[in-house]
Amino acid sequence: MNQPVKNGVMVYAEQEEGIVHPVSFELLGKGRELADRLNIELWSVLLGYRVRDKAETLIHYGADRVFLYDDQMLEEFDVVKYKHVLVELVREVAPQLFLIGATPLGRSLAPRIAAALNTGLTADCIDIQIDDRGEIVQIRPAFTGNIIAHIKTRSRPIMATVRYRVMKPLPRDNSRRGKIVERSPPKLPDTGLKFLGEVSTRSVNLAEADIIVSGGRGLKKKEDLNMLKELASLLGGVVGVSRPLVDDGWISKDHQVGFSGNTVKPKLYIACGVSGSPQHMAGMRDSEVIVAINIDRSAPIFRIADYGIVGDLYEVVPKLIEALKRLKENE
Ligand SMILES: Cc1cc2nc3c(=O)[nH]c(=O)nc-3n(C[C@H](O)[C@H](O)[C@H](O)COP(=O)(O)OP(=O)(O)OC[C@H]3O[C@@H](n4cnc5c(N)ncnc54)[C@H](O)[C@@H]3O)c2cc1C
């Protein structure tokens, strides 16, 4: 077997039920840029069962080489088994940099791998760059988003998780050629974990929504979220919230926008009764168009809003709903 060129950039290709998470393509886009600058190969690693065709896809999105572990034992995501396989591979091929999506799955996997390899992990990066000295710099918000930290790691490999939707995938190129290195998993420990079936699914996928209508503490009671739900559904969007509403148990954390919630990048973000704390804005400031509705004209949200409505959301939102209904009736 050909030994891989040492020290490539490695991207973990996350898949569930044969569907590759789009963050993996985003990481390949960034990984391609970094590997080209460092003049090394871009690698990807894919674990699962009956996922060979997905290895080809990873090449089409920029990988030079895909380490493929296609085995029935890896059909379900078992964090301990997956860690075991990845630690062994990383020890063998020694990538310079190992990137993993900061998804719920990636966030459970990455620290376990880093701990086993006795290396550092920079979580929740928003960018990775190469500085003038050719060193890898990991960039992430710190102190609840008030500063942007530039982090270099001494230990190897450098490991980072990267937020979803902060990087751009390359356009798919089906003519790209690369190498698929098929591997068998090592002897896996009996982890005691057993997949019993899915008990709940996420109620909403905020990170991928194109339209978000968000509510904050300007709402007086939980039931008033229904008004925002109605507006969101008329627009074909979903409901987001600021953190206090989640803390008060009004709605699940899947809906939280911000530093400790979801990072979102919709085409339209309507903030209703949200003041615009740094922690909230850290999660939505990259939205394409921001509309803010707030009774306080000095609310910080207006500083980043494209359209600001100074007014009571209990008057403005019903008017918007009415107007949209009229529009729909006339369609
Ligand atoms: C470590 C840490 C992490 C955090 N992570 C997050 C996070 O991920 N996401 C997040 O959102 N927060 C987060 N927070 C909390 C954050 O600091 C703020 O407390 C929170 O964002 C404020 O939410 P809000 O804007 O809804 O409430 P407020 O700041 O109380 O603002 C309510 C706004 O509603 C307006 N208003 C009131 N009545 C009306 C009305 N009738 N019509 C229109 N406007 C009205 C008010 O003028 C005000 O501007 C975090 C805090 C910490 C310490």
108 lines ligand 1 (CB under 6 A): no
Closest CA to ligand 1's atom 26? 216
Determine how many CB atoms are found less than 10 A away from the CB of residue 184: 10
pLDDT tens track, the chain, 331 positions: 445 456 899 999 999 999 999 999 999 999 999 999 999 999 999 999 999 999 999 999 999 999 999 999 999 999 999 999 999 999 999 999 999 999 999 999 999 999 999 999 999 999 999 999 999 999 998 886 678 899 999 999 999 999 988 899 999 999 999 999 999 999 888 888 887 877 766 678 898 899 999 999 999 999 999 999 999 999 999 999 999 999 999 999 999 999 888 889 999 999 999 999 999 998 999 999 999 999 999 999 999 999 999 999 999 999 999 999 999 888 7
C-alpha to C-alpha distance for 28 and 170, rounded to whole angstroms:
8
242 lines ligand 1 (CB under 6 A): yes
> What 3-state class would DSSP assign to 101?
strand
185 lines ligand 1 (CB under 6 A): no
In what side-by-side order are the strands of the sheet with 127-130?
127-130, 136-142, 147-151
Q: Hey, which of 255, 263, 277 would you mutate to test ligand 1's pocket, going by the most ligand atoms within 8 Å of its Cβ?
A: 277
Locus of tokens 């998993």: 185
Closest CA to ligand 1's atom 3? 260
317 lines ligand 1 (CB under 6 A): no
146 lines ligand 1 (CB under 6 A): no
C-alpha to C-alpha distance for 27 and 44, rounded to whole angstroms:
10
> What 3-state class would DSSP assign to 183?
strand
Locus of tokens 């991928």: 208
> What 3-state class would DSSP assign to 222?
helix
C-alpha to C-alpha distance for 56 and 270, rounded to whole angstroms:
40
CATH for the 9-183 domain, from 3.90.1150.10, 2.60.40.10, 3.40.50.620, 3.40.50.2000: 3.40.50.620
CATH superfamily label, 206-330: TPP-binding domain (3.40.50.1220)
Sign of the four-CA dihedral 319, 324, 327, 329: negative
Sequence ranges of the domains in the chain? 9-183, 206-330
Overall pTM > 0.85: no
| Bridge partner list, 154 | none
Determine how many CB atoms are found less than 10 A away from the CB of residue 290: 23
* Residue 241 amino acid letter: V
Fold match between domain 9-183 and domain 206-330: yes
